[in-house]
A and B are shown apart, each in its own frame.
Chain A
Amino acid sequence: MWEYTDKVKEHFINPKNVGEVKGADGVGNVGSLACGDALKLTIKIDKNDIITDAKFKTFGCASAIASSSVLTEMLKGMPLKEAKHITNDDIAQALGGLPKEKMHCSVMGREALEAAIADYTGAILPMAQGEVVCDCFGITDLEVIRAVKENNLRSVEEITNFTKAGGGCGKCEDTLRSLLVKTVEDLPASKEEPAKQKRMTTLQKIKKIEEVLEREIKPTLKKDGGSIELIDVDGDFVTVSLRGACSGCHSSQTTLKEYVEKKLREQVLDTLIVEEEK
């Protein structure tokens, strides 16, 4: 069971400002059903740029609901100028803190606020311009970089706690790690670096990969009526296409990650990232 503060419990059991503001001046929609949490924030802004009303609709766990509720309380009566500076930490603080695994709920609050303000001012959110680095949760590099800087994150696990990135299939972990290293220049050598990293030329890689595909992976997939072809190798990225029974089936992603990638990492190079041809 999570350790929630009384404040979280209070806002969860009796949330304030549930619903949608009529004739909202700004609407912020973040998250999705698939991700497990989502927030729609609506705000009303008067001619002096003061937020006069704020309401929310949230799908998610107790801390997502409490974060949304406390955010709307903070916003009511607040000048827009000030609201722009609300951070996820402010939201977490207002709740007396959140369990570290739940910090992404406060991040979702801040993102919805930014989206609502951008909707009002007509600005384009910088976040939306970034490049998606985590497909599972649709998180962009700019979001990750920002979370790292604002919250002093020092590990991939912390990035996952704050942004969710990396908490799904895990294939983006390497990308996240290099983003982290780039963002925090003087990061001490990460102990999470894979143990046995060898250098291989691309040609060597292709040869080894082909070998493992032929010898082990193809015969196994064949039992399920499927097959696999190597399309490209670019650095550590291995693009393949799944054919036959496994292509398009909902478990093909699992096959790819839990079986193909695992095998290739074991037998060729443990930094390989296997992707399906789009």
Chain B
Amino acid sequence: MQCNTDNVVYMDNNATTRIAPEVVDAMMPFLTDCYGNPSSMHTFGGQVGHAIEQARSSVANLLGADANEIVFTSCGTESDSTAILSALQTYPEKRHIVTTRVEHPAVKSLCENLDNLTGHKHRVTWLKVEADGTLDMEQYKESLSDDTAIVSVMWANNETGVIFPVKEMAQIAKERGILFHTDGVQAVGKIPMNLRDTKIDFLSMSGHKLHAPKGVGVLYVAKGTPFIPFLNGGHQEHGRRGGTENVASIVGLGTACDLAAANMEEENTRVRALRDKLEQGLLSSVPKSLLNGNKENRLPNTSNISFEYVEGEAILLHMNQYNICASSGSACTSGSLEPSHVLRAMGVPFTAAHGSIRFSLSTYNTEEDVDFVVEKMPAIIANLREMSPFWEE
């Protein structure tokens, strides 16, 4: 299969990212000659084990953690499930979980199905968000109880990019003796972090959001945090996750973490400036367009904009005509008949939620990309609005 990337303007990096060429180079030997099993006694396999340990150090370095706190998994979703189910098994007598209304399905669906999964009744507190997508810390504090086994709050939201104060929240949980998990899938690599400075017990990350391949993830388990594996099997990952390692992807993830650490400054300056330019350009050239989510407390790469009176899928398909890639929170694209649960939790009116478009940039975006999108969008929206029975100039 051939995919032509020549004219693609890719602004859907919160969905997935391009694998960095450096990452591909680092992986290649492990897809060809270096095929040994890292658990083997012979040098041929054993040397592969060294590559995994090197990758582990790179991940730890990006997170501000120690290498032995890093467990490789198959994806962000597995990491989320592992952390939450581990906490529930650690404290089988505790039957309460605190999370938010805006989590990714990886946490949301899990929490909705806990009773079936564990065979016990659980109570879930779904923390509310304000209109700008931020949390109410008072509600958070009041929600904690002696029955709470774990708090799971995402570091940054995948749809709006809004950042939650997880460091502070973990501190509060710790004081109450409650485990704290954060889904860091969107935050890792985009904002600096130093887990050593926090009371976070578990953090999930996913390779494909930071220019490593799909199908590899990490669960950070803080030293001293009780842990019960999700996949039982061999002694891989020091007995914390059975299954022969996805060597090439793990090595790729290590390289991607090195790149992310090196690019952190750029992500928060050049990429942020591109995002801001795109956002300003769109909001000023398209009437009745509004920003979703807190403007300041946000990932540097994400912009979620609602274009009122038009529908998201229609917008995306017109953008597709120009090879511009983005996402929408509209009902039609979510596969359900209701718009995104994140925007609804924020109380974004249906008129705007149906027409929301998420632009998410990366270090591979250029000034030309932004100019192109700002040039094309106004006509796309105007054209669809002309067709809309609700639109009046």
Contacts and interface: CB of A to CB of B under 8 A. Distances in A.
Asked whether A and B interact, the reply is yes
A39 to B, nearest CB: 7
A233 interface: no
A33 to B, nearest CB: 5
B330 A57 contact: no
Contact of B311 (A61, A164, A167): A61
A34 B311 CA distance: 11
A59 B338 CA distance: 15
11 contacts: A2-B313, A12-B317, A36-B354, A39-B389, A40-B389, A58-B388, A59-B311, A59-B390, A61-B311, A61-B312, A160-B337
A65 B347 contact: no
A36 B128 contact: no
Contact of A101 (B330, B335, B388): B335
Contacts of A57: 387-389
Interface of A: 2, 12-13, 15, 18, 29, 33-34, 36-40, 57-62, 64-65, 101, 136-137, 160, 164, 167-168, 220, 223-224, 250-251, 258, 266
Contacts of A15: 387
B314 A36 contact: no
B24 to A, nearest CB: 25
B321 A37 contact: no
A36 B317 contact: no
Contacts of A64: 311
Interface residues of B, number: 35
A62 B317 contact: yes
A65 B387 contact: yes
Contacts of A59: 309-311, 387-390
A71 B143 CA distance: 54
A57 B337 CA distance: 21
Interface string B101-135: 00000000000000100000101001010000000
B350 interface: yes
Contact of A12 (B115, B314, B351): B314
Contacts of A65: 314, 387
Given A38-B389, A65-B314, 18 more contacts: A2-B313, A13-B318, A15-B387, A33-B309, A34-B350, A36-B350, A40-B389, A57-B388, A61-B312, A61-B313, A61-B314, A64-B311, A137-B337, A167-B337, A168-B337, A251-B128, A258-B126, A266-B121
B337 A223 contact: no
Contacts of B351: 33-34
A38 B336 contact: no
Given A33-B351, A36-B332, A40-B389, A60 B311 contact: yes
A60 B350 contact: no
Interface in B300-321: 309-314, 317-318, 321
B337 A60 contact: no
Nearest to B355: A59
Interface of B: 115, 121, 123, 126, 128, 139, 142-143, 309-314, 317-318, 321, 330-332, 335-339, 345, 347, 350-351, 354, 386-390
Highest count of chain B CB atoms <10 Å: which of A18, A59, A167: A59
Contacts of A36: 311, 330-332, 337, 339, 350, 354
Contacts of A62: 313-314, 317
Nearest to B338: A168
Contacts of B311: 36-37, 59-61, 64
A55 to B, nearest CB: 11
Contacts of A168: 337-338
Contacts of A2: 313
Contacts of B338: 136, 167-168
A223 B143 contact: yes
B337 A38 contact: no
Contacts of B126: 258
Nearest to B309: A59
